[in-house]
Structure 1
Amino acid sequence: MSRPVEVSVVLPAYNEEATIEETVRVTLDSLAAFLPPDSFEVLVAEDGCDDRTPDIADRLAREDDRVRHFHSDTRLGRGGALDRAFAAADGETLVYFDTDLATDMSHLEHLVESVRSGEYDVATGSRWMPGQRVDRPAKRGVPSRGFNVLVRLFLRSDLRDHQCGFKAFSREAFEILRDEVEDEHWFWDTEMLVRAQRHGLRVEEFPVEWEPKGDTKVDLVRDVFGMGSQILRTWWQLSVSPRITTPVTVVAGLLLSVVALGLMTVYIDVDAVLGALRSADPALVGLAAAVYVLSWPLRGLRYRDILRELDYEGSVGFLTGAVFISQTGNLVFPARAGDAVRAYVVKARRAVPYPTGFASLAVERVFDLLTITVLAGSVLVGLAVTGGVGELAAAVSGNVPGVEAAAIRTAVQVAVGVGAVALVAVGAIVVSARSDSNLVRAAVSRLSSDSYADYVAGVIEQFVGGVQTVAGDRGAFARVGVSSVVIWTLDVITAMIVLRAFAAGAALSLPLLLTVGFFAVSVGNLAKVLPLSPGGIGLYEAAFTAFVVILTPPGLGPEVAFAAGILDHAVKNVVTVIGGVLSMLGLNVSLTQAVEESSEAEGVEAKLPDDD
């Protein structure tokens, strides 16, 4: 009777036709030197190869029953291939090492027995411990040391080398960790080690002799976008997210708003602002709120058109409620958590998958940026025709009495930058949508030849795919574009009615009010896209105040302009919160539950039934 398998060695393989047969032979011989016969197996985790590796692995499995071949038609990623093979392995001690055999195989017995003996739960070789012998060129060593320093610093790891491809896990440790590890590519083993330490598992790191095989280079997509983003993601999950409770987020949002308003009062007379607020005509403020209410059904209509292009349906009433709830979430929680709330709501109530929900949000954001950029640009052209550009130049240079110069320059610079990016992005997306070639993947491939580039390209494609779908249909593009213009026009009209509610604003002519409104509101909204002031708040007020003062007669000073900006936001926020609360009651949605549920959006595939 054959002995039960105790040790399973997994060899992750991608296009290894030149080396895989020799690697399997060396692995079998090395294991046989210290383990009983038939107590081990070798699994070739072949990851969507497009060379002869699958055929070779099949032949090796037929010739030796200690060899098993796990084939995948699609790329799973290095971590995904390892996870799949380990889950199917028979051994209680799970081992893997890179197929180039860069680590000296004389260390294999130590690696296996450290875990097999029960002394450790996890074991890993290290190229950066005292006693190791490594001939590592600078182009490999410098990035490796930098990566490990960042992991130790941000993720509080005690290990020196997290990515040496020479590791072993007990079956119990693997089962504890596998559901928590999210990365499926090069960061997989680093995340396994970090989370093992957080669980208090016994982890051994021992020095190994290591010799680089083949050439390498710092890869922009894998090393910067891939590994860097995964360090930040894991740090957030382990160190930040557990501390961000609902009370903390609400209090933080309130404090940031107070701080932002406090900073503005450094440059403007507070008593004058309060006096201006008390003098505002309540009837006109009420009219402004009514006008702003009119924009919300249009937001629901626009969102319906976007989802329809993505092959999902929803009534205007329901989708208006979903937008209300998400915008209320953005007011209450930092980091635009309300956007994820909307994706949760349309998934839970209309079975819209999370990827489609986030893609529809991307479409909406792009059209918003494009619309306010075009509106601001149109007014700028009008000012150029009428000779008003000199006044704008005075604003950029900071020559506006009562308004801090650096705030103006920062607001204008950010607005110009965001507007330019919006125009370029929309242009690129439209061109890509009308092209037969895959421009996104082609662009990413120019930056990287690593397999991680496929993953990054897929994420980018998912993000812009919805925009491309809408942009590729002229009718849909026109409908969404027109509704965006109307929505933002109502936003501007709301601000101008609020401005006219003040005594100084009442004397302004309608053409002048519209000119001021379109430019000040557009530039203000573009300015606040990037959080360059505390909490991302304050740049709107700075831009709005500056351009209202510049483009109106001297009688309307910075105090009145600032008061109008505050009241404008107050009116819009009150309407948003009231609509959000009513929508939550009508749709039976808890905002805090939605935030918690939407935080687990990634990787969720199930579709919930329509229960409306």
Structure 2
Amino acid sequence: MGGPRTDSAPDTASDAEPTVSVSVVLPSYNEADTIESTVATTVRHLESFLDPGEFEVIVAEDGCDDRTPEIADRLAADDDRVRHLHSDERLGRGGALEAAFDSARGDTLVYFDTDLATDLRHLEELVRRVRSGEADVATGSRWLPGNVADRPAKRGVPSRVYNGLVRAFLRSDLRDHQCGFKAISREAFSVLGDEVEDSHWFWDTELLVRAQRAGYEVAEFPVEWTPKGDTKVDLVRDVLGMGSQIIRTWWQLSVRPRLSRRVGLGAGAVLAVLALFLMTQYLDFGAVLAEMREADPALIGAAILVYLLSWPLRGLRYRDILAELGYRDGVGFLTGAVFISQTGNLVFPARAGDLIRAYVVKARRGIPYPTGFASLAAERVFDLLTIASMAGIVLMGYTATGRTAELARAIVGAEGAGRVAVVVATAVGLAAVAAVATIALSARSDRDFVAAAVYRVSTDSYADFVVGVIERFVDDLQTVAGTRRGFARVGTTSVVVWTLDVVTALLVLAAFSPGLGTVELVAVSFFAVSVGNLAKVLPLSPGGVGLYEGAFTLLVVGLTPLGPELALGAAVLDHAVKNLVTVVGGYASMVGLNVSLTTAVEEGREVREHGEEAPELD
């Protein structure tokens, strides 16, 4: 395996050969049926306006598994103006073009699609615009007035939507970013080629956008274009691929330059305040203050200290998860990363704070994104399994003592957030058990379930990239949960973490002098906290505020003689204590570790581009 190599013809012309000024690249993947006629047509059109020694045609063959390499070798042997650039592995359309341009001899670099959908009578104009110095980049367009392009709806509608998004988000002045008919000067490519990050279908769009931002002259002119073959909107490529690349480029070009470390830390402070404000919107904060005045401050202080003790253990558990994946780091840094991500989860929907942690460990420690996400998924699996087990054990105890009917009546008679919370908790608990079973079964199976699922919705080459990322994610997840040592260490720490979470709630409930016996207080605390945390797993509200309180209150009222006012006050105060500790710890970690989402994304780009380890922080 390896990168691109030239199989035929030398890379540099001898002194006796005429100087090549125009290099035409034909990106090819499994083009055995058409590549010979495409090369012949290309050479014929180039001969019509260039001297024989002024041009070369490069077949950029991208890891084909048909007869394309064999045919390209023969064409190169028969005509010294034709070269074959081969890659043992798939580089992607953009990767193949970039490798070919790096290898090309000409000062004017041209490429077009091998299906020759664009009429080659426009080739002379394309070359002339760049070769004459009129433009640094030239591109054909199917959407400019005066062109001739038969665009059926299944091609035209997605194309117009895509180009509209590029124009809106990336501030491009062009009408058509993906017409496969472009030329660029060697000088411009030497600068822009290193900046373009995509290696697939978005490559030429990013090239055009970055050229405009850099102040290069980009010429767009109408071409006659005829669709060749069939096409379809590809879910993986168009939605996951193109959409994410537009967002990524928008962030890099429009957002990141306006941000600094001071702005990032300031944004962290705003998020912390916003998290507290959101709590007042979901709950009656007046009731919280009233209940706090009645609670024993010593026990509340003890609850805060107990909850603080759980955070270093969260960092220790995350260290053990990463160690199973082959990455080692300090507990201090990882505790800070967990603090920051959990603070984000109090504000952002859909647990988007987890993305911040993936950015932090990628940027500061060079841990790949799939591994970062897999480590987070492993943590969540252990969380859910531990909480579900705690709830199940207590439920078995209630069943053994004949109190199941009492619990059932409480749930059936509940309304609003309480019932929703218990239903959600039940579903999440069952899903956690199913997830563990699925991981165990897939680890023992030879069938590639991931690839089969992706290829059901996509046959595009970009799907190969997506499959690779997902498979790495699943493999990492199985690595953590699939060994006895890893399962035992992470599982034990998870039990301690969530036991401290329960003890925190127990101390808060005891602060209200509920008059319960020790056994009853411990049992209801374990059950109410476990179900409440299962309920808030789904991001139905920021930080699960409302769902946690609903489940906690319902179960305390249903299983004890306590009234709803006291139960709700304890639930609100318990959740408020935990959220306040999280917010304060999260912001302190941002300041202490000098970490923000802005700097994380910036340093993550440095790691991707240069393959260097980011500086250690702890």
The residue identity in structure 1 corresponding to 2:100 is: A
Equivalent residues in 2 for 1:20-99, closer than 5 Å: 20-99=35-114
Partner of 2:264: 246
With over 3 angstroms needed to count, the CA separation of the structure-2 counterparts of 1:324 and 1:475, relative to structure 1, is: closer
Partner of 1:480: 490
Partner of 1:591: 595
With over 3 angstroms needed to count, the CA separation of the structure-2 counterparts of 1:104 and 1:596, relative to structure 1, is: closer
Offset, 1:76: 0.8
The residue identity in structure 2 corresponding to 1:431 is: L
Offset, 1:254: 2.8
* Aligned equivalents of 1:192, 1:431: Cα separation in 2: 44
Match among 417, 437, 440 for residue 430 of structure 1: 440
* Aligned equivalents of 1:224, 1:99: Cα separation in 2: 25
Offset, 1:49: 0.8
Q: Is the 8 A contact 2:508 2:570 kept in 1?
A: no
CA distances 1:521-567 after superposition (whole Å, capped 9, x unpaired): 34444454455446876654555556555555343513443233212
Partner of 2:3: none
The residue identity in structure 1 corresponding to 2:151 is: R
Match among 460, 465, 470 for residue 455 of structure 1: 465
Q: Is the 8 A contact 2:106 2:186 kept in 1?
A: yes
TM-score, normalization by structure 2: 0.84
Q: Is the 8 A contact 1:249 1:332 kept in 2?
A: no
User: Are positions 1:389 and 2:399 aligned together?
Assistant: no
* Aligned equivalents of 2:492, 2:612: Cα separation in 1: 35
Q: Is the 8 A contact 1:324 1:576 kept in 2?
A: no
Partner of 1:402: none
The residue identity in structure 2 corresponding to 1:465 is: D
Percent identical pairs in the alignment equals 59
Unmatched runs of 5 consecutive residues or more in structure 1: 399-404
User: Are positions 1:329 and 2:336 aligned together?
Assistant: no
Equivalent residues in 2 for 1:104-503, closer than 5 Å: 104-243=119-258, 245-265=263-283, 268=284, 270-296=285-311, 298-313=313-328, 318-319=330-331, 321-330=332-341, 335-336=352-353, 338-340=356-358, 343-344=361-362, 347=365, 356-376=371-391, 386-387=404-405, 388-395=407-414, 397-398=415-416, 405=417, 415=425, 419=429, 422-503=432-513
With over 3 angstroms needed to count, the CA separation of the structure-2 counterparts of 1:101 and 1:597, relative to structure 1, is: closer
* Aligned equivalents of 2:75, 2:69: Cα separation in 1: 10
TM-score, normalization by structure 1: 0.85
CA distances 1:342-393 after superposition (whole Å, capped 9, x unpaired): 5258727xxx666545543332233224433444565567667612123223
CA distances 1:550-587 after superposition (whole Å, capped 9, x unpaired): 55534351344323321233345556777x59xx97xx
**Secondary structure at the residue paired with 1:275?**
helix
Partner of 1:401: none
Offset, 1:197: 2.6
User: Are positions 1:553 and 2:572 aligned together?
Assistant: no
Unmatched runs of 5 consecutive residues or more in structure 2: 1-15
**Secondary structure at the residue paired with 1:49?**
coil
Q: Is the 8 A contact 1:544 1:565 kept in 2?
A: no
**Secondary structure at the residue paired with 1:41?**
strand
* Aligned equivalents of 1:383, 1:158: Cα separation in 2: 68
Offset, 1:307: 3.3
Offset, 1:17: 1.1
Deviates more, 1:356-365 or 1:13-22: 356-365
The residue identity in structure 2 corresponding to 1:481 is: G
* Aligned equivalents of 2:394, 2:184: Cα separation in 1: 64
CA distances 1:577-603 after superposition (whole Å, capped 9, x unpaired): 77x59xx97xxx433496355543545
The residue identity in structure 1 corresponding to 2:278 is: A
**Number of matched residues?**
585
* Aligned equivalents of 1:502, 1:556: Cα separation in 2: 13
**Secondary structure at the residue paired with 1:34?**
coil
Match among 519, 525, 528 for residue 517 of structure 1: 525
With over 3 angstroms needed to count, the CA separation of the structure-2 counterparts of 1:224 and 1:374, relative to structure 1, is: farther
* Aligned equivalents of 1:537, 1:594: Cα separation in 2: 29
Partner of 2:9: none
Offset, 1:38: 1.4
Deviates more, 1:412-421 or 1:81-90: 412-421
* Aligned equivalents of 1:537, 1:170: Cα separation in 2: 57
Partner of 1:605: 611
The residue identity in structure 1 corresponding to 2:240 is: F
Q: Is the 8 A contact 2:143 2:175 kept in 1?
A: yes
Q: CA RMSD of the aligned region, Å?
A: 3.3
Equivalent residues in 2 for 1:555-570, closer than 5 Å: 555-557=563-565, 558-570=568-580
Q: Is the 8 A contact 2:53 2:81 kept in 1?
A: yes
* Aligned equivalents of 1:572, 1:129: Cα separation in 2: 54
Q: Is the 8 A contact 1:549 1:561 kept in 2?
A: no
With over 3 angstroms needed to count, the CA separation of the structure-2 counterparts of 1:371 and 1:345, relative to structure 1, is: farther
Offset, 1:480: 2.5
Q: Is the 8 A contact 2:137 2:216 kept in 1?
A: yes
Q: Is the 8 A contact 2:92 2:200 kept in 1?
A: yes
